[in-house]
Each structure stands twice: as C-alpha cells, then as structure tokens.
Amino acid sequence: MKFTLSWLKDHLDTSAPLDVLTEALTDLGLEVEEVVNPAAKLATFTLAKIVHAEKHPDADKLRVCRVLTDEGEKQIVCGAPNAREGITVVLCKPGDYVPGIDVTLGVGKIRGVESHGMMASERELELSDEHNGIIELPSGEVGDRFVDWLAVNRPATVDPMIHIKITPNRPDALAVRGVARDLAARGLGVLKPLAAAVIKGGFPSPIAVAIDADLKAKGCPHFAGRTITGVKNSPSPDWLQQRLKAIGLRPISALVDVTNYFTFGLNRPLHVFDAGKVKGTLRIHAAAGGEEFLALDGKTYTLRPGMMAISDDAGVESLAGIMGGEVSGCSDATTDVFLESAFWDPITIAATGRALKINSDARYRFERGVDPAFTLTGLDLATQMILDLCGGQASDVVQDGAALDVSRAYKLDPARLISLVGMDIPEAVQRKTLEDLGFTLNGDMATPPTWRPDVLGEADLVEEVARIASLTKLQGRPLPRVHTGVPRPILTALQVKERTARRTIAALGYNECVTYSFIDAEAARLFGGGAEAVRIENPISSEMTHMRPDLLPGLLRAAARNQARGFGDMALFEVGPTFTGGEPGEQSLLASGLLIGFVAPRDPFGSRRAVDVFDAKADAEAVLAALGAPARVQISRKVADWWHPGRSGAIGLGPNVLATFGEVHPRVLQAMGVKGPAVAFSVAIAAVPEPKAKTPTRAALTLSDLQAVDRDFAFVVDAKVEALTAVNAALGADKALIDSVRVFDQFTGEKAEAQMGPGKKSIAFTVRLQPREKTLTDAEIEAVCAKIVDKVSKATGGALRA
C-alpha cells in the first residue's frame, strides 16, 4: 500500500513530522517498507539570479553568466537558450549531486572559461521531461532553498511517498483514510470528516441492474450504480496524476483515474462502463462455464462455472470485482458512463482470481474485504468527482440487493485485557481507543465498525487496544519458574538418544550434514521408496519429488558433489527423519554414516587404506554401545537390496533390527554417480531398547584375585563358515568359566587353500578362562579346552588346525 504525505493529510489533520508518522505506522502494525522523499535529492539546490550574460568568446551557443548566489557572485557557463540577465534560476554548486544527469559537479573549465556550478533544467532535477531551457522561477529570493519554493508553489513535486506493508487482516488500511484513522487513534492528529456528497439524480438510469438469486444469497449481496451522461473524458488534473504517479500508477484518463483514486484513498474499488457499449440490463450472475471474456489487460479469459460475471445482452462485460472488460471500457470518445459500486464475497473473488491468475487492485481489496456499508456513499462521492472533472448529468441510483448486515458485538473485559497484555491501560483509555477506531460501545459491548471484517472476537479488541497503546512501550516481566530450585531434566529418552548418537558419530570423525527431506524419484526408488503416498504433488524441482525413505541417498548425493569438488575421502553423517508413508507420523529417526575412499590421507606411516565394511561395523557398534544397546546381539545377512549382498549385515535383537552396515551396492553407487568404495551404517535410534537399570547405581564390581588363563585355538573350516558361529560355540562350552572369546586371526585365500585344501580357511581365536574359586589345575584347563574343541568342531564342521 502506497500513498503520499499530502494524500494522508487530506484525511488527517496533523502537524507531526514525517519520521514521527512513519515510526508510529510501523509500531501500529502498518510496517513502513520504504519512504521516498523527493525533496531529499533536491535539498542542496538554492535560488540564484543571473545578473549578467554574454556570449562565450569561443562558442556561439554558450553564454558566460554572472550569477548572484547566497555565496556571492559566481561565473557560470551555460548552454541554455533562455539563460539571460534578470531571471531567477535554480543553482547547483560544485560538490552537489545532480540526479537527472547522475553527476557530482566540480569547478569546470568550458572552452577555456571557468564555470562554478550549473543552472538546472527540470529534467536535470527529475521534475519533468522539460529540457528546452533552464528553470525560470517567477518568484523567490536569491539563497532560498529550492525545495522550500517547491513546497509552496508545486507541493506535489516534493510530496513524500510512503510504502507500508499491510497484513491480510487489515483491509481498512488499504485505504489512505484507514491509515489516517490509526494515526489519529494513536494521537497523531485528528481524522477529518469525509465530505458528504449527495447527488440528486436528474433522470432514471437507462441501464438497469439485476443480481441472480443465487448470487444475492452468497457472492454479490449488493450492487449499485448510476449512469452519467454527457461527460468529457480527458486527462485528469495534474494533482491527481501526480498522486497516482507517486504511488506507481499510470494516469490513463479522468474516468479511470477517479476509480483508482477511490480504490487507494477509500478502499472503494469502482468500475466505469462505457454506457454506449452496454446493451440492455447488467446482470450479475454465476458463469455457466466456457464464456470467453476479453479483459482490460488485453488477455482473453475463459470463465469456469461459478465465477461471478457482469453481463449484458452481448455477453460478459466484466469479471466481477476483479477486472472490467475491454469492449465496454472507457475511451477518450466516451460520453456516457455507468459507474458501478458493489460488494463482492471475498472468498469467491479470491477463488476466481487465483484460478485465472489475475492480480488486480480490485481483487486484492475485495478478497480482503471492503466496507459493505460504504457502497452507496462511495458511489455518490465518486459521482461527484466525475461530475467535477468531466461534467455531465447523473441519473438516479439503480441497485439490487442491500448492504450486507455485519453488525456484531463483543465484550470488552478491561481486567482480562490488562492481564493478557501485561500493560496497565486504564479502562477509559481502552474505551477511547476503540471509539477512535470506529467501534461503538454500548456498556461493555463493543460493536466493530463495518470496515473491520477482521474483528471477530474479544481477543481482537485486546489486540486493537494493545496496538494503539504501543507494544514498543511494553516492559518485560519475569516469567515465574515452574519449579523453584534447580531445573528438572526436560528431554525424553529418545531425544537424549538422538543427541548421543549425533555426538558419538561426530566423535568417530564424521561430518554432520543436514540434507533435504525430499529427493528425486530415482534415488528414492533405489532405496525402496518413491511410492505414490510419499510423492509431493507440487514439487519445487524434479530433484525434490519424493519424501526420502532413507538417509543414504542424500548422503550419497552429497558425497558425489564433494567428489566433484575434488574431495575423495570423506566421512559424512546425518541424523534425521525418514518417511515410511504419507500419513502424519509415518516417519522414523535414523542415524546414518557414510565412509568413502580411504581412512586416512597418505602419510609416512602407511596409515592409508581403503575403507571397508569393518570400519562401518565398528562405528555402528560404537553408536549402539553409546545408546546403551546390549553387548550380545545377532548379526544377520538379511539386508535391503541397496547393500552389497556379500558384504553387509544387520545387527539385531531377536526380530528387532537395530542397525545395518556394509558396503553400498556397486550398482547403487554407479546410479548415484559416486566413486567407490563406499561403506555405510544406519542405526534405527528408536529401536534400541531402554537400558533395564532404572537407577544410576551400578552393579557391584566383582574382581577375582585368581589369574586368568588364555588359550589360543585355530580351526580349519569351510570358507563360508562365519566366525561368530565358532565364537558362540566356544562361549557355550563352559558358561561359568569362559570369560571371553575373541577372534584374532583369519587365514583365507589361495595360500590358505594351498595349505588346508580347496574351499577352506582357518580362523583363530583366544579364549580367556577366569577361575572364580580356585586356581585351575592343568587337568581342568585341558578338560575345558577339549570341550571347546568339541563344541566348535560340531558347530562349524571344522577341525582343530594341525
């Protein structure tokens, strides 16, 4: 919403300076976005007088002038044909910036003659396009500021333009008058009464109006207008053109400019039909669908069923409340007009405007809500203005329907208001504020003015009073603590686990990423996603069409981008939601890490080696341990198909999968443009069970004074026998005595097969026996070892390595 200071002052009697007004506007909720003060760029220019002018010795078209200025007499070379003795001019001195030529002046020498400044034309000062000569002022004294002269003699040229942002609840502030009312309520002036205009019609309107019954119920409760004959449609007067230009509108003709003036001045959009082109009665109706309509913007729109239209016998003449038609539009030749003032249902207007993608000032206002009680008054005021500017005779008003009854009242509870706002605003002030805003108070019931459709309850009264009282003045008051003393913990167990997972993975050397929750369809499908339920209906790009089923695709895409930047080795992770379905809550929290390339840079110690599955496994286990997962878990090979089938596994507790680790499937890597090898892990944070212990107390530490005994075993087994089978078998040999079993070697490959036979490998593990009561005898140790050999042989089908 844009307006000028002088326009505001048409409605507001105020002596407040501009900056006070703009600060107040922002505080009132009418946030000032921009103030353009044309005086600012003219501030340095002063009036001067040419006391002598003669031809330049070396140039026929230049004159050397002696100019009387506030700093004495100066010599200025000037090329203007009208530069002559005795005229009062506008002086730009060396050091001044001249906006129209984008130059900061210096002392110049023109064909050998010094020139101390310049005398400006209108164009050089961006006052108009006039450039036939320098400005000659009919009045003013040497040394006067030019802006002061303009303020008196041509005020529109130095009228500041104010641009404010209007929140959607304030259609009343889409009128200059509404803005003035807020400022008056704030105490920055007095709202001037609106001049009354009661037009006495001289004859019945030749054009009748009729609203279809269905629209009268909802859509168009009230439509009024009148014919004005014998008008002369010429350019509107300067003051009106200046105002419209100042707010960025192009003056068109007096008739059109009047409608724009009412749109912005009083939030009363109007439309003028060329009455000569209207055939028969204007009918307000819902479109049947398929009607074609050439609008004033030059485009043809096809109406859809239900859109509101104004038609005559020839067809649709106006898209009601949104845009008029080209056919019945006004031109310079127009002599008779029909002036429309109507109230349109905001929701219907918004729907039509959206569907046809038309953004007009009328739509903008009708869809937010105009004052339904102002339809006829607005019509009369606009009629008066047309008669004043264009002449002519006005007919009687024709109308159908009646002003919508929006009367309602809400209770003003002064004590509750104070309790909500936390400011001590006396009841009398509360009541006066509401009255200043146009509310009617009857006891403690407040009736909102007809121009405030947004006021729909007691809370709105609170807001109005607080807003006018100024929230800038609000002083903070401490929020009492819920509990006295030390704050209680506030995170849930899952929130704590999420944090722990994140910090643990970072501590393991991974860089945390936050990637988009939506990914492209191809990536989603590679990871078991891409279903219709998780598709976004209106994605912003083809890269972001589906909610992600997993964190790895985002991390892999990130890895590919980093590889493209020349980073080969990386450890990336993310902790975040993945989406299993399209319903609220069908999301789960994962923590995933991705290792690519080598574990370390090249160094003198040979630390560099390619990442492998056991790096990922170790990290997954570290995260699970940090989350308090039990130490005894099962490893399964049942994993999703984006993992390498032979080099991946799932860590589970019974059917509950806690984590997956492994190499990413080479085909997936290739599809996502990542150069491998790449290993990864994913931890399902919520799947990790809560620790059983409910108190911080630890179990007692039991230490044995008896020496533990370590015994090493090596078995020859089939190459596909898993080490864990052997370990579990060994552990089962004597649960009381065996403290731990740890694999320390495996021997596989050609050399192993050469020694042990085709398809064979050896695995070696060490068993620690921890006696509890007495030192073990050799015989006892031998007995346990024999049992271990027996159990492991049976479980693996292997034999002790010779």
Partner 1 sequence: MDGLDTLKAKYLTAVAGASDESALEDVRLQALGKKGEISALMASLGKMDPDARKAAGANLNLLKDEIDAALRAKKAGLADAALDERLRSEWLDVTLPGRPRPHGSIHPVSQVMEELTAIFGDMGFAVAEGPQIESDWYNFDALNIPPEHPARQEHDTFFMARAADDARPPHVLRTHTSPVQIRAMTAQGAPIRVIAPGRVYRMDMDQTHAPMFHQVEGLAIDRNISMANLKWTLEEFCRAFFEVPSVELRFRASHFPFTEPSAEVDIRCSWEGGQLKIGQGDSWLEILGSGMVHPKVLAAAGVDPTQWQGFAFGMGIDRIAMLKYGIPDLRAFFESDLRWLRHYGFAALDMPDLPGGLSS
Q: Which of residues 524-543 bind partner 1 (CB under 8 A)?
A: 532-541
Our CB check for partner 1 shows the closer of 568 and 691 to be 568
Which element (helix H / strand E) includes 542? none
CB of 406 to partner 1, least distance (A): 17
CB of 611 to partner 1, least distance (A): 11
509 lines the binding site for partner 1 (CB under 8 A): yes
Give the one residue of 183, 220, 231, 547 binding partner 1; rule: CB under 8 A. Answer: 547
Helices 254-266 & 375-390, crossing angle to 10 degrees? 140
Q: Which of residues 454-473 bind partner 1 (CB under 8 A)?
A: 457-460, 462-463, 466-467, 471-472
Length of the chain: 802
Q: How many CB atoms lie within 10 A of CB 454?
A: 17
- Total site size for partner 1, rule CB under 8 A: 105
Give the one residue of 408, 411, 561, 638 binding partner 1; rule: CB under 8 A. Answer: 561
Our CB check for partner 1 shows the closer of 573 and 661 to be 573
Our CB check for partner 1 shows the closer of 572 and 680 to be 572
Our CB check for partner 1 shows the closer of 600 and 783 to be 600
Q: Which of residues 279-318 bind partner 1 (CB under 8 A)?
A: none
Q: Which of residues 21-80 bind partner 1 (CB under 8 A)?
A: 26-29, 31
Our CB check for partner 1 shows the closer of 473 and 735 to be 473
Our CB check for partner 1 shows the closer of 435 and 586 to be 586
Gap between the Cα atoms of 690 and 703, Å rounded:
27
Tokens at 583, concatenated? 């319903």
CB of 259 to partner 1, least distance (A): 23
Give the one residue of 487, 655, 696, 758 binding partner 1; rule: CB under 8 A. Answer: 487
CB of 706 to partner 1, least distance (A): 37
CB of 128 to partner 1, least distance (A): 36
Cβ pair 97, 40 in contact under 8 A? no
Our CB check for partner 1 shows the closer of 423 and 764 to be 423
Q: Which of residues 319-358 bind partner 1 (CB under 8 A)?
A: 346-347, 350-351, 354
CB of 26 to partner 1, least distance (A): 6
Which element (helix H / strand E) includes 27? helix 18-28
CB of 420 to partner 1, least distance (A): 5
495 lines the binding site for partner 1 (CB under 8 A): yes
Which element (helix H / strand E) includes 589? strand 587-596
Q: Which of residues 401-440 bind partner 1 (CB under 8 A)?
A: 419-423
Q: Which of residues 567-606 bind partner 1 (CB under 8 A)?
A: 567, 570-573, 575-577, 579, 582-587, 599-601, 603-605
Q: Which of residues 603-662 bind partner 1 (CB under 8 A)?
A: 603-605, 607
Our CB check for partner 1 shows the closer of 351 and 633 to be 351
Which element (helix H / strand E) includes 283? strand 282-286
Our CB check for partner 1 shows the closer of 508 and 719 to be 508
Q: Which of residues 731-760 bind partner 1 (CB under 8 A)?
A: none
Our CB check for partner 1 shows the closer of 231 and 461 to be 461
Secondary structure (DSSP) of 368-387:
T---GGGHHHHHHHHHHHHH
Classify residue 169 by its DSSP letter: T
Q: Which of residues 351-390 bind partner 1 (CB under 8 A)?
A: 351, 354, 367-368
- Tokens 């959206």 appear where? 354
Our CB check for partner 1 shows the closer of 395 and 578 to be 578
Give the one residue of 15, 442, 492, 542 binding partner 1; rule: CB under 8 A. Answer: 492
- Tokens 């009697």 appear where? 13
CB of 541 to partner 1, least distance (A): 8
Q: SS3 for 273?
A: strand
Binding window for partner 1 (CB under 8 A); candidates: 434-442, 504-512, 753-761, 773-781: 504-512
- Tokens 């068993």 appear where? 767
Our CB check for partner 1 shows the closer of 51 and 514 to be 514
Residue of 385, 42, 38 whose CA lies nearest to 240: 385
Give the one residue of 7, 149, 518, 643 binding partner 1; rule: CB under 8 A. Answer: 518
Tokens at 13, concatenated? 């009697």
CB of 570 to partner 1, least distance (A): 6
Amino acid at 127: L
Binding window for partner 1 (CB under 8 A); candidates: 68-76, 120-128, 238-246, 560-568: 560-568
Our CB check for partner 1 shows the closer of 426 and 457 to be 457
Tokens at 772, concatenated? 């509890």
Q: How many CB atoms lie within 10 A of CB 414?
A: 17
Q: How many CB atoms lie within 10 A of CB 655?
A: 7
Gap between the Cα atoms of 706 and 239, Å rounded:
106
Cβ pair 110, 56 in contact under 8 A? yes
CB of 256 to partner 1, least distance (A): 27
Residues 6+ apart with CB under 8 A from 503: none
Q: SS3 for 230?
A: coil
CB of 675 to partner 1, least distance (A): 15
Amino acid at 69: T
Classify residue 604 by its DSSP letter: T
CB of 516 to partner 1, least distance (A): 5
Cβ pair 80, 133 in contact under 8 A? yes
Residue of 737, 731, 747, 740 whose CA lies nearest to 792: 731
Binding window for partner 1 (CB under 8 A); candidates: 189-197, 328-336, 483-491, 771-779: 483-491
Q: Which of residues 156-185 bind partner 1 (CB under 8 A)?
A: 167-170
Our CB check for partner 1 shows the closer of 29 and 329 to be 29
The sign of the CA dihedral 523, 524, 530, 534 is negative
694 lines the binding site for partner 1 (CB under 8 A): no
Gap between the Cα atoms of 701 and 797, Å rounded:
38
Binding window for partner 1 (CB under 8 A); candidates: 91-99, 113-121, 515-523, 650-658: 515-523
Gap between the Cα atoms of 660 and 623, Å rounded:
12
Give the one residue of 109, 200, 477, 735 binding partner 1; rule: CB under 8 A. Answer: 477
Q: In what order do the strands lie in the sheet with 46-56?
A: 72-78, 59-69, 46-56, 88-92, 118-119
Cβ pair 178, 8 in contact under 8 A? no
CB of 565 to partner 1, least distance (A): 7
Cβ pair 455, 445 in contact under 8 A? no
CB of 133 to partner 1, least distance (A): 44
Our CB check for partner 1 shows the closer of 399 and 578 to be 578
Tokens at 120, concatenated? 């400006």
Give the one residue of 515, 634, 725, 746 binding partner 1; rule: CB under 8 A. Answer: 515
CB of 255 to partner 1, least distance (A): 30
- Tokens 């984590």 appear where? 659
CB of 472 to partner 1, least distance (A): 6
Instruction: State in Å, rounded, how far the first CA of the chain is from the last one.
Output: 93
Residue of 800, 602, 787, 635 whose CA lies nearest to 725: 635
CB of 630 to partner 1, least distance (A): 24
Q: Which of residues 197-236 bind partner 1 (CB under 8 A)?
A: none
Residues 6+ apart with CB under 8 A from 525: none
Residue of 201, 355, 195, 377 whose CA lies nearest to 289: 355
Secondary structure (DSSP) of 755-791:
HH-TTEEEEEEEEEE--SSSPPPHHHHHHHHHHHHHH
